[in-house]
Structure 1
Amino acid sequence: MHKHIGFGLNLIALGLFIPGILLPMFSLNMEMSAQVSSSVLTSSIVDKELSILATVEELWQDQRFIVGALIFIFSVCIPLIKTSLVSFAYFKRHTLLEEKIMNFVASIGKWSMADVFIVAIFLAILSTNHADTADNQAISMFGFKLDILISSETLSAAGVGFYYFTGYCLLSLLGTHISQLSLHKQP
């Protein structure tokens, strides 16, 4: 019974994984404004919504190959390999191959915690929400004095992909754990 539940949870996790890597994980908006006397000029500096795959693509284009590759490996490749192996092991019931596959999945399970780490990184990025800075400057020219207030505001929010990916992480860990429990209960 544990084996069926674990397999089912891994399939549901895979269903959450796909939108989790394709849909925006977070949005980031940074605006700068300058106030001179009573006039205000506002400009959007950054306005992005990034998914995991869009983040990897952007890092690759910015030639940050190591960071992009690490995020791709730990957030896309290892989860797909792990889910594929657990699914394959499900159909190899009560065999030595099933046990070897599940032991291998358990050994890479430590590495699959990196996907949880990716979620933690995105949460850290989201902690910049409503970070405001302001600088007041006074300029004097030809006897005139101008007060200039320059400020910036950073807003960030979790996207729907964040929730899908978090759901994937939790269900995948639970499903794999339950699948491994079934190995110990086999005759």
Structure 2
Amino acid sequence: MRSRNIAALVLTIVSLAILYPGLTLPMLRITVAADLPILGRTTFFEQTQSILETIDTLYSNNNKFVGILILLFSIIIPIAKGVSMMAVLLVKKAAWKLQLYRVVHSIGKWSMADVFVVGIFIAFLSTESNRSVEAELFEGFYYFTAYCLVSLLSIQLVKLD
């Protein structure tokens, strides 16, 4: 196996390892509060959730379609992409390798994980302009962002023989 492919395999394993905390650790806290006369700073709403908790909340609140989309694009497709990528790097037959590589590229087009991270970041930045709404990024966001970057890098390193 070429050194580029060994590096791609290691990065794929690392990306899958950091995907787990990216899905389970808190990602974003949204707080809605206002400065009220006499009462001072009063919090009306505060929520901190991970991606998995967000999916569960959406599903429980009858937003099943959105919950399923996030489940598909943030969990199922990234895992399928990672497993397919490892198969590309470990399979010996050239014909199988090429077929699996095509699968990885087609899955990559549907992987919305990176778009999801950008969406969270934009939501974070947009709340910074509103004094009543505060957003705070947590470690889950950084793990998930790292997953996206490491996963993309691993695909770029693959060299088919």
Q: Common fold, TM-score beyond 0.5?
A: yes
Distance in 1, Cα, partners of 2:67 & 2:9: 30
Name 2:66's counterpart in structure 1: 67
2:143 counterpart residue number: 164
Task: Give the drift of 1:88.
Answer: 2.0
Equivalent position SS for 1:166: helix
The corresponding residue for 1:40 is: 39
Per-residue CA deviations over 1:150-180 (Å, capped at 9, x if unaligned) read xxx211111101000000000001101212x
Give the letter for the 1:74 counterpart.
Answer: F
**Residue in 1 that maps onto 2:152:** 173
Deviations 1:71-122 (A, max 9, x none): 110000000001011112222124311111011111121111x111111111
The one-letter code of the counterpart of 1:17 is L
TM-score normalized by the length of structure 1: 0.79
Provide the C-alpha distance between the structure 2 equivalents of 1:26 and 1:83, rounded to a whole number of angstroms: 25
The alpha carbon displacement at 1:18 in A equals 0.5
Aligned to 2:113, which of 112, 115, 119? Answer: 115
TM (normalized to structure 2)? 0.92
Q: Distance in 1 between matches of 2:31 and 2:50?
A: 15
Equivalent residue letter for 1:29: T
Cα distance between partner residues in 2 of 1:94 and 1:170:
28
1:178 alignment partner AA: L
Query: Which residue number in structure 1 is paired with residue 18 of structure 2?
Result: 16
Equivalent residue letter for 1:5 = A
**Cα offset for 1:41?**
5.1
User: Greater share of helix residues, 1 or 2?
Assistant: 2
Measure how far apart 1:42 and its partner are: 4.5
In structure 2, what is the Cα distance between the partners aligned to 1:27 and 1:46? 10
Question: 1:21-170 alignment to 2 at 5 Å?
Answer: 21-35=23-37, 39-40=38-39, 42-112=41-111, 114-127=112-125, 128-129=127-128, 131-132=130-131, 153-170=132-149
* AA in 1 matched with 2:106: S
Q: Does structure 2 conserve the Cα–Cα contact (< 8 Å) formed by 1:129 and 1:157?
A: no
Extract unaligned runs of 5+ from structure 2: none
- Could you tell me how far apart the structure 2 residues matched to 1:166 and 1:93 are? 32
Cα RMSD of the aligned pairs, angstroms, is: 1.4
Figure out how many residues of one structure are paired with residues of the other and give that number. Answer: 158
Structure 1 unmatched runs, 5+: 133-152
Give SS of 1:53's match: helix
Deviation at 1:16, TM superposition (A): 1.0
